[in-house]
Structure 1
Amino acid sequence: MAPKLRWRDPIGRETTQKIIKKLLPTWKNGLQDFQLDIVMPTLNGVDGMLLTATGDGKSAAFMIPILVLQEMACNPLEYPDLPRTSKPIRLVINQRRASQEILSKRLNSLVYPHSHTAKRMSQTLEGWL
């Protein structure tokens, strides 16, 4: 049976913030509103685009859905019945070569065998954001 809840519902936002605060404890306030505004549709399977200033948190905004879905896959009974996948992927298109090289190095540090958990990925992510 398909999940009855959607990520755009208030419970979706609350669940995302709960997971972020669990995985990234130094982010005491969780995600910023503009990050949640792009993360929620993404978790619902809708493509999106985010334009904002350098250093605002775009990298976090596109990495968060993967962390959220991996955490939910690792601990399915802890979270509401929201849409999920066990092997999330993310495609990022960036036309600036310097940005691509930096991002590529950072993202490669997040590539783990399936046996690693979202917690391990979040530790790496927290170290470079």
Structure 2
Amino acid sequence: MVLRINFQLPEGLKTLDTIVKKFIPQWNNGLKPFQCQSISKILDLDNLLCITATGDGKSALFAVSVPIHKEISQNRASFPKFGVNIKSKPVGLIITLIKSLVNNIVKELMSFGVQAFAYTQENIANTHRAGINIKHTCG
């Protein structure tokens, strides 16, 4: 029987830290403690309510999950077996009412190598005019 761990255990937290430092070198100190605790809960499919100050790093809570899943799925032998299903083609959906915030989030995600698209009226019109199929933008 294969022992499966969760992301909130020390081995899961170490995996999270290793992958974040590899894929997001701009964060040379890694994740903040509240981010690490929160992201590990999200990856373990636990419910979470996080309230912090503006600019404190809440965007990382949803931005990091996609590269974590991608890295583990592409290098399964290098990581422990997790108790949740690791997705080979993870998708994150972020809903916000503030256009400038969603554009900043997309820009940040793309700087991490994550394909992203802000589904706004302006962006839909621009992609349509450019002849770009939105299905292939984030697929």
The TM-score with structure 1 as length reference comes to: 0.71
Paired position in structure 2 for 1:86: 88
SS at match of 2:115: coil
Structure 2 residue runs without a partner (length 5+): 117-139
Structure 1 residue runs without a partner (length 5+): 113-129
SS at match of 2:40: helix
Higher mean alpha-carbon deviation, 76-85 vs 62-71, is at 76-85
Higher mean alpha-carbon deviation, 29-38 vs 87-96, is at 87-96
Higher mean alpha-carbon deviation, 33-42 vs 92-101, is at 92-101
In 1, the alpha carbon distance for the partners of 2:77 and 2:28 equals: 24
- RMSD, matched Cα: 2.4
CA pair 97-77 structure 1, distance change in 2 beyond 3 A: same
- Which has more radius of gyration? 2
Does structure 1 retain, via aligned residues, the 8 Å contact 2:19–2:71?
Answer: yes
Count of aligned residue pairs for this structure pair: 112
Structure 1 letter corresponding to 2:52? T
Runs of 4+ in 1 over 6 A off after TM superposition: none
CA pair 98-33 structure 1, distance change in 2 beyond 3 A: same
CA pair 93-3 structure 1, distance change in 2 beyond 3 A: farther
1:57 equivalent in alignment to 2:57: yes
User: Whose relative contact order is higher, 1 or 2, with alpha carbons under 8 Å and at least 6 apart?
Assistant: 1
In 1, the alpha carbon distance for the partners of 2:29 and 2:107 equals: 27
In 2, the alpha carbon distance for the partners of 1:47 and 1:65 equals: 15
CA deviation after TM superposition for structure 1 residue 107, in Å: 4.7
Structure 2 letter corresponding to 1:111? Q
State the identity %: 32
